[in-house]
Structure 1
């Protein structure tokens, strides 16, 4: 599939890199510290959501701030050696001018930056959890990224691995490319579904970016 765009917007974890082992290691330790059981965690989706939203489901309101600070500390400390870059990421980002792409993550800025630094990715623009009042699947994060880049949302393409992120991209009026890195293809509703970013090539022109994605 060929798509013409003026900006490419990338989710971070599960799209550019993977921290799945670190996530489960840190959240397991966090749960033990806060006296939560495996049953408490049943049905709680950890991927593609802000830590604040997850913790608010599990703990009383007066414990959320402290618990949020603790999980951020655990995950930032675990970033060295705890994340791996996914196939195609460096090649694709290396082909893009800085003003043509952004990272849009549900993680905090501190954590998002720590993970990207660990895999050697320099990013021009990042929208993180503290930049928005409503996280994915609300379109606010992606709309803010488009505004920061000065691009019409309709001329943006979202790259996501999580259903919530894909819903956010569609709600923002953007084209969507789903990566089957963390979810089965049957769960991914997008304009095109690919295995990972190695299936994407780009050609930069004066008008924008020509994207070829092979599902």
Structure 2
């Protein structure tokens, strides 16, 4: 599928630009044990593509949410140097092809955690919209609309790249076009304009008019 120029590219982080699943599983498993979350209860919760505060609120009593949220944040930030955060195929090549001001990272992680993971794989994003910047996380459209506003882009001219159903829903609700990446979920769960294996299936053409994106399924 071809998304004609000019388009602005909005990327989810974990599962889209990079994979932190090894670190995520390690940290959340430890956190669940510390807070007495049973294996079955923990296994039933969707960890990927949602803000940590929403996940924590599903699992612990309201009075313990601030403490539990602070704990998982510390565990994840401190775990980044331990490995398990790696770039996904095609990420470096695609980002290197984009002009400044044409893209942003839109993540459900906090800014501290998102930037730690981006640094770990050598990505310098021109703009990061993180959980700290919004009041309603994915699947609400607020994160993507905030990014478009910061870049001065019309929602209809934005293309969202996401691996999680909640993120793709956020992009659709924002009135944006969507590319699903089958990196963490089965293709059948990804409702998008086009679904690709990873960013290695995405190419760009940069002209005086702007950026054109081609995603091949």
| Equivalent residue, structure 2, for 1:101 | 103
Task: Select 1:123's aligned residue among 100, 122, 125.
Answer: 125
Q: Does the 8 Å CA contact 1:146/1:156 hold for their aligned counterparts?
A: yes
Deviation of residue 66 (structure 1)? 1.2
Pairwise CA RMSD:
0.8
Contact 1:11 1:103 in 2 (8 A): yes
TM normalised by structure 2 equals 0.97
Quote the Cα distance in structure 1 between the aligned partners of 2:213 and 2:88. 19
Are the aligned partners of 1:180 and 1:193 in contact in 2 as well (CA < 8 Å)? yes
Deviations 1:19-57 (A, max 9, x none): 111111100101111122202213210000011000001
Match of 1:14 in 2: 15
Residue 196 of structure 1 aligns with which residue? 198
Find the aligned partners of 1:72 and 1:82 in 2 and give their Cα distance.
16
CA offsets 1:143-174 (integer angstroms, 9 cap, x no match): 00000101111100000000010000000000
- Aligned partner of 1:2 in structure 2 is 2
Show structure 1 runs of 5+ residues with no match: none
Secondary structure at the residue paired with 1:79?
A: helix
- For 1:55, the equivalent position in structure 2 comes to 56
Corresponding residue for residue 214 of structure 1: 216
Is 2:70 aligned against 1:69? Answer: yes
Instruction: Write the deviation string for residues 76-104 of structure 1: whole angstroms up to 9, x where unpaired.
Output: 11112120100000000011112000000
Moved more, 56-65 or 116-125: 56-65
Q: What whole-Å deviation, never above 9, does each CA across 1:94-123 have from its counterpart, x for those lacking one?
A: 111120000000000000000000000000
Aligned equivalent of 1:41: 42
- 8 Å CA contact 1:6–1:207 kept in 2: the answer is no
Distance 2:188 2:38 in 1: 30
- Length-normalised TM-score, structure 1: 0.98
**Structure 2 residues not aligned, in runs of 5+:** none
Task: State the 4+ residue runs in structure 1 displaced beyond 4 angstroms.
Answer: none
